[in-house]
């Protein structure tokens, strides 16, 4: 590249790259993440508090239900004792309320499961982590959101999912 063009590139490309970086930071920082804890079971999870407000107790276990202001997105965070001694696989077998062929995503390991199903209107995502034998517990969250918003929720679902604790190997 000729030396004359290098200063021009620096003048035009560097500001564009900086602007892209700033815009990405603004999009990330728009969400205020908070940690919710189910004290009795030692469950902790991060959720975007700028999106969700608490609306009552979780329908399952001990925890909290959150909703977006328009009511179209719901997040339930809950934990329960694993008195039955379930593994992730046995829990899914015993509790799944739909045919497994209806799942669009399924990952089951020895310490957690994550499942998802989609229809024309909504996406349902659920993850549960299973903790050890001494204080055997199941730590979960369920998230329901509009199918039309799938792309904007992908990174949020990933962050919530990866923050769910405890996860013992």
pLDDT for the residue 165: 87
CATH 3.40.1000.10 fits 31-163, yes or no: yes
Mean pLDDT of the 38-49 span: 94
Supply the pTM of this predicted model. Answer: 0.79
**Among residues 51, 36, 73, which one has the least CA distance to residue 150?**
73
pLDDT for the residue 121: 94
- Give residue for tokens 């909703």: 67
Write the secondary structure of the chain as one string of H (helix), E (strand) and C (coil): CCCCHHHHHHHHHHHHHHHHHHHHHHHHHCCCEEEEEEHHHCEEEEEECCCEEEEEECCCCEEEEEEECCCCCEEEEEEEECCCCCCHHHHHHHHCCCCHHHCCEEEECCCEEEEEEECCCEEEEEEEEECCCCCCEEEEEEEEEEHHHHHHHHHHHHHHHHHCECCCC
Confirm if 141 and 159 have CB atoms less than 8 A apart: no
d(CA 52, CA 54): 7
Mean pLDDT of the 104-128 span: 95
> Between residues 112 and 31, which one has the greater pLDDT?
112
Residue 91 vs residues 113, 127, 137: alpha-carbon distances, Å? 9, 12, 12
Residue 16: pLDDT band with limits 50, 70, 90: very low
What pLDDT, in 10s, does the model give residues 124-168?
A: 999 999 987 666 899 999 999 999 999 999 999 999 999 998 744
Please, is 11 exposed, middle or buried when counting C-beta atoms within 10 Å of its C-beta (0-12, 13-18, 19+)? exposed
**Among residues 102, 55, 97, 96, which one has the least CA distance to residue 75?**
55
pLDDT for the residue 18: 35
d(CA 145, CA 7): 48
| Domain limits, CATH 3.40.1000.10, in the chain | 31-163
What pLDDT, in 10s, does the model give residues 65-96?
A: 999 999 999 999 999 999 999 999 999 999 98
């Amino acid at each position: 590249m000729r030396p004359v063009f290098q200063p021009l590139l620096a003048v035009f490309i560097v500001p564009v790259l900086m602007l892209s970086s700033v815009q990405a930071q603004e999009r990330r920082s728009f969400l205020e993440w908070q940690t919710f804890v189910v004290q009795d079971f030692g469950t902790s999870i991060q959720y975007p508090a700028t999106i969700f407000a608490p609306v009552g107790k979780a329908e399952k276990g001990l925890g909290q239900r959150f909703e977006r202001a328009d009511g179209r997105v719901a997040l339930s965070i809950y934990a329960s004792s694993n008195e039955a001694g379930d593994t992730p696989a046995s829990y899914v077998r015993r509790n799944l309320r739909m045919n497994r062929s209806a799942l669009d995503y399924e990952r089951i390991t020895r310490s957690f499961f994550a499942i998802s199903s989609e229809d024309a209107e909504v996406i349902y995502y659920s993850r549960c982590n299973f903790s050890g034998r001494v204080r055997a517990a199941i730590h979960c969250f369920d998230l329901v959101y509009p199918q039309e918003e799938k792309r904007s929720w992908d990174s949020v679902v990933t962050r919530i999912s990866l923050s769910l604790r405890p996860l013992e190997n």
